[in-house]
Amino acid sequence: MAGNSFGQLFRITTFGESHGGAVGVVLDGCPPGIKITEEEIQKELDRRKPGQSSITTPRKEADRIKILSGYFEGKTTGTPILMIAYNEEFESDDYLELKEAYRPSHADFTYEAKYGFRDWRGSGRASARETLARVAAGAIAKKYLKEKLGIEIFSYVDQVGSIKADVTCNEATPHCIEANIMRCPDQKAAKKMIELVEKVKAEGDSIGGVIQGVVKNVPAGLGEPVFDKVPADLAKAMVSINAVKGFEMGLGFRSVGLRGSEHNDSFEIKDGNIRTKTNNAGGTYGGITSGETIHFRVAFKPVSTIKKEQDTVNRKKQAVKLSAAGRHDPCVLPRAVPIVEAMSALVIMDHYLRHKAQNG
């Protein structure tokens, strides 16, 4: 079965390629009556689109979204929603030399191994351009969760290379995250990160980092053990994003150095409610939400497309040299922030609807 759909009740199917006619999404299972506009969805897409700043790709794409179905008089109707963004600026000639050569660490070789041929224009279906469809659908989920349940979803750049932000997920706010082009809430660290990315860009190279995901005010009880635990679905959602190589929930890999007595989150009564004194688990126990803030980290590798000359081979199994043409991000993290948020919203929305369907 093709892997172009995500979610059970709140389900998306994305379509399109980077140099094709358009990229879009069909959203099925969306509750009726959600008030939303194309402008609200566009606001999220503008945070993801290329050409935002000096540290992103200079390519200019409007990513202008259009809602073609499942929408009437400013509200969702409950029927399938089709959203589409037509591709406007792409230069396929930049990729002519890639018709025969396999780019290091790209999907060129693996897509051809799977399908017998590949779309060599800008990575085709493997392009990160596909993620605009996820962000469009995520914008609807994000608004519903905020207005109906008070759930707040945001993410931020926590690390670039070896430079780490000195801020916790409880201290970060959407305002301070959007205060700089790196989308890092630690303004001093952000400045150093920007300088590092600019240096790497000047060298024709790329660099990776970590995005912190945060979901606040989630009700307790969401999750479908054993295979559809909230952490399991979040992990799949995040690792499905281009360039992601790691996911950890709560303290994650840092917890291996602790004793159980240090890592356990003790319960207490606070304002008449059962809460935990710490939140090392990241907001779930047994794969079910605890009511505490969900927090996780997502590791992004350096962008594979770089201007430095590299060794590779072509379809004739000949050794060749290759340096990238085209316009690419030296660091994908600032544009990936809204993608992490969108995938978080899709997971929580789906689990909320599943919980509601089972428990009323």
| 51-103: pLDDT as tens digits | 788 888 776 677 999 999 999 999 999 999 999 999 886 665 566 667 788 99
pLDDT tens-digit readout, 304-359: 989 999 999 999 999 999 887 656 899 999 999 999 999 999 999 999 999 999 99
User: How many domains is the chain partitioned into structurally?
Assistant: 1
Contact (Cβ atoms closer than 8 angstroms) between residue 348 and residue 141: yes
b (16+ CB within 10 A) / e for 75-95: ebeeeebbbbbbbeebeeeeb
Share of the chain above pLDDT 90, in %: 83
Share of the chain above pLDDT 70, in %: 96
Query: For residue 46, with 0-12 CB atoms within 10 Å meaning exposed, 13-18 middle and 19 or more buried, which class applies?
Result: middle
d(CA 183, CA 165): 11
Joined tokens for residue 199: 């240096």
d(CA 332, CA 206): 9
**Contacts of residue 25, Cβ cutoff 8 Å, sequence gap at least 6:** 12, 13, 14, 15, 82, 83, 133, 134, 136, 137
Within a 13 Å sphere around the CA of 57, how many CA atoms are in the beta-carbon half? Answer: 23
Query: For residue 360, with 0-12 CB atoms within 10 Å meaning exposed, 13-18 middle and 19 or more buried, which class applies?
Result: exposed
Q: What are phi and psi of 215, to 5 degrees?
A: -130, 110
Of 106, 131, 130, 133, give the one whose Cα is nearest residue 120. Answer: 106
The predicted pLDDT at position 313 comes to: 94
Contact (Cβ atoms closer than 8 angstroms) between residue 138 and residue 160: no
The predicted pLDDT at position 89 comes to: 66
The position carrying tokens 């905020």 is 146
Lowest mean pLDDT among 99-108, 200-209, 256-265: 99-108
Domain CATH code at residue 62: 3.60.150.10
The predicted pLDDT at position 92 comes to: 55
Lowest mean pLDDT among 76-90, 135-149, 249-263, 313-327: 313-327
**Contacts of residue 316, Cβ cutoff 8 Å, sequence gap at least 6:** 100
The predicted pLDDT at position 18 comes to: 85
Largest CA distance in the chain: 70
Q: Which domain holds residue 137?
A: 5-359
